[in-house]
Structure 1
């Protein structure tokens, strides 16, 4: 009697990942280091000066980390409530931060106590930044206002009340100390000139604005809010250039690579996407374990830091040339033991010896056992289960072809209810 032959499952070639220069570049980071903070990481800001320490704003603290340290080298704790938006000055010596208590604080990087307190806002301050002349501070608050402060005298210079909802983000121009941009939950992105008493440009993002940034040339502005990342041409009066919808949830943060040729966006969908700023196509994607609130890239691209809603800080460092060579080197194949080669070498068979063949027990899958016992309907039910039809659809197709070869496909389909037929049709239609 001939033995039962298992169903032959054909193997199909898989499409390999397309390897590009961007893929090689962004995969050239080590396994991330994870640091647990005291609360959700709302802001990451790198110092503009080497060795590029970075400030992490989380809960009621601001931690300063070295480029390769897993423990903070300095901590600022003089906050009565949640701290927001710690930002370095361009000379790396001062840092400004907002707070839930509506006070803007100025710190010396080498000290711990606030040098200046700027009072005037009536609600939480989520936006702080320095102007490029280093003598003024920009702040934005949940009281719907953004304000400019004189740093040496600790006095308010100007207050703008054009927004009709929380002002949650903004940035200052590096080329013109009088220009700055704010984004609000009223869906508007506004460009202000400190020499005038009102905004000079307004753009409608159509969603609450979570973050904004300027390109190095400052001819283009990027805004993030909702599921959209939008690029605006400031040289054409703020005309929309492109709208990107590659995230599944709210985009919370933006940053640029050192060259300005790659744009990074982080989202509550736990992805960081990298865009080519020429084509605005996604060239790489990073996956994380929790919703992303902040992202920062070192000025030399040597470290990628991501802050998450669960308080985890993920730090990826770029591999050194020596580590690249070590990772690229081929592993030496393991050689079999010496006894494998000499086993049975000295045995001389005799004329009366005979070889006893040991039967090999064949392991059959569930559907093969059912086919062997001619339970064709049950075999079809087995391969239409979700775990098989979704993960290994080639098995489902192979069993259907075997039923057709046997001429029992019609019998296997007979007597089925609407539910089982709908599963079958959805599999066939795809």
Structure 2
């Protein structure tokens, strides 16, 4: 007796995302390294000088990690309350941070205790940064003020009180020591010049501003707040250029790739979006396990570091070309491969007695039911598997096998309202997929032939049949329109081709006409 042949599930091309250069570039990272911090990671900042350590601000601590270390190489714990916004100076030697107790602290990266403590704010300080001359810092606080401080004297130089709500983000110019920009929960962005006593430019983001980013040329400013990411042209007085709304929840942080060609935004919706800075379209997307509060890129995009609300620091390191080759080689030669093929290529000799071991056939549940000729149960099992695994090709393959056996009508007949509704929903969802149409159209035709007499007795079945009819009519209209367009294109292509004239035929025809005229004239002369 011949063995049972399992149902062959066809492999269809995936209708997913296209493989682009961005997909290959941003997916070329190793499995993430996850480090548990003491609280939500609110800020990450890379040192601008080698070895490019990064500072992680979480709860009452600031930890400094090496680029490939899983334990902090340095820790600053002299905070009485929650620390905020630990940032390096451009030479990597100093680090400044705010605190919930309203005191700003300045640290030497090689030391432990604070070098300077700046007191003047009355509420929590969420924004700190160095100016480009290395000798001043600016801060923003929940007391609605932003201030400029002198580092050598630990003295306040200027105070601006133009915001009407918490100041939660800011960025200093790297090209002009006197310029810095702040963002506030009053929906505004303000550009300050230390040489004046008020802001020199103001922009309305329309949402509480959570993060700011300056392009290296400093002609463009990016702001994030609410679900929006907006780009502003500072050279044209803060004119808005682009407004992006690709996140489902509040956007919390921004980052720029090393070459400035890609902009990254992270959100509480657990996604990191990568935009092309030429047209600001999303070219890639990262998913994380929890809401994201902070994001930073290492120089040359060698690492992506993300801080989340669940106190997890997620680090992804870029693969080296050598490592990629090694991984590919390991995939090609698996260690267990020799175990499975051991002895397979052995050829018995003439006098050897060969003992063959029966190979157990593993069948899917629907194949077991097909083997027992339970065609209705096999179809039901395939429908359930397609619903749970989202693989309609399984059900289509079973329907095709039932049609080949001539038992498809038996499998579809005798259904109650619930079972028939399940089949109709599957047809509605997949019948107009070009990969499945030839098989499912036959099944739909059989269903209409079997159940035409019970139409009107079930409201659910009638509704599904009407929906199927509407979709079918739309598909027919689409096909008619496509045929009309195809006819138009054929006409245009035909008219654009040059006409090919058969010259020999024309010449022979003209010669024949000339000979006929000559013979006629001769006969007329003879009559006369």
- Confirm or deny a common fold (TM above 0.5): yes
The question of 1:345 aligning with 2:354 is answered no
Q: Given the two structures, how large is their TM-score scaled by the length of structure 2?
A: 0.72
- Aligned to 1:347, the other structure's residue is in SS state coil
Kept after mapping to 2: 8 A contact 1:171/1:180: yes
The question of 1:384 aligning with 2:383 is answered yes
Which structure shows the higher strand fraction? 1
- When residues 165 and 414 of structure 1 are mapped into structure 2, their CA distance, relative to the original with a 3 A threshold, is farther
The question of 1:37 aligning with 2:37 is answered yes
* Structure 1 equivalent of residue 119 of structure 2: 119
Unaligned runs of 5+ in 2: 430-528
> How far apart are 1:380 and its partner, in Å?
4.3
Kept after mapping to 2: 8 A contact 1:400/1:409: no
CA distance in 1, matches of 2:76, 2:240: 40
CA deviation vs aligned residue, 1:268-309 (integer Å, no higher than 9, x gap): 222222222112222333332222211111233322222121
Kept after mapping to 1: 8 A contact 2:399/2:408: no
Q: Which moved more, 1:180-189 or 1:395-404?
A: 395-404
- When residues 376 and 193 of structure 1 are mapped into structure 2, their CA distance, relative to the original with a 3 A threshold, is same
CA distance in 2, matches of 1:340, 1:377: 40
* Structure 1 equivalent of residue 326 of structure 2: 326
Kept after mapping to 2: 8 A contact 1:144/1:167: yes
- Aligned to 2:381, the other structure's residue is in SS state helix
> How far apart are 1:313 and its partner, in Å?
1.4
5 Å-filtered alignment, 1:160-309, equals 160-309=160-309
> How far apart are 1:387 and its partner, in Å?
5.4
Kept after mapping to 2: 8 A contact 1:273/1:284: yes
CA distance in 2, matches of 1:244, 1:42: 23
* Structure 1 equivalent of residue 144 of structure 2: 144
> How far apart are 1:245 and its partner, in Å?
2.6
The question of 1:394 aligning with 2:393 is answered yes
Unaligned runs of 5+ in 1: 350-354
Aligned length: 424
Kept after mapping to 2: 8 A contact 1:140/1:146: yes
CA distance in 2, matches of 1:322, 1:361: 42
> How far apart are 1:257 and its partner, in Å?
1.7
CA deviation vs aligned residue, 1:109-141 (integer Å, no higher than 9, x gap): 121111221122222111111111222211111
- Aligned to 1:180, the other structure's residue is in SS state strand
Q: Which moved more, 1:211-220 or 1:299-308?
A: 299-308
- When residues 15 and 133 of structure 1 are mapped into structure 2, their CA distance, relative to the original with a 3 A threshold, is same
CA deviation vs aligned residue, 1:143-171 (integer Å, no higher than 9, x gap): 22222222222222222222222211110
Q: Which has the higher contact order (CA 8 A, sep 6+)?
A: 1
> How far apart are 1:388 and its partner, in Å?
3.8
CA distance in 2, matches of 1:365, 1:143: 66
CA distance in 1, matches of 2:216, 2:295: 18
CA deviation vs aligned residue, 1:380-422 (integer Å, no higher than 9, x gap): 44333365465221122334455666475487366533x6555
Kept after mapping to 2: 8 A contact 1:98/1:126: yes
Kept after mapping to 1: 8 A contact 2:221/2:234: yes
CA distance in 2, matches of 1:71, 1:363: 48
* Structure 1 equivalent of residue 514 of structure 2: none
> How far apart are 1:258 and its partner, in Å?
1.8
Q: Which moved more, 1:10-19 or 1:237-246?
A: 10-19
Q: Given the two structures, how large is their TM-score scaled by the length of structure 1?
A: 0.86
Kept after mapping to 2: 8 A contact 1:389/1:427: no
- Aligned to 1:112, the other structure's residue is in SS state coil
> How far apart are 1:40 and its partner, in Å?
1.1
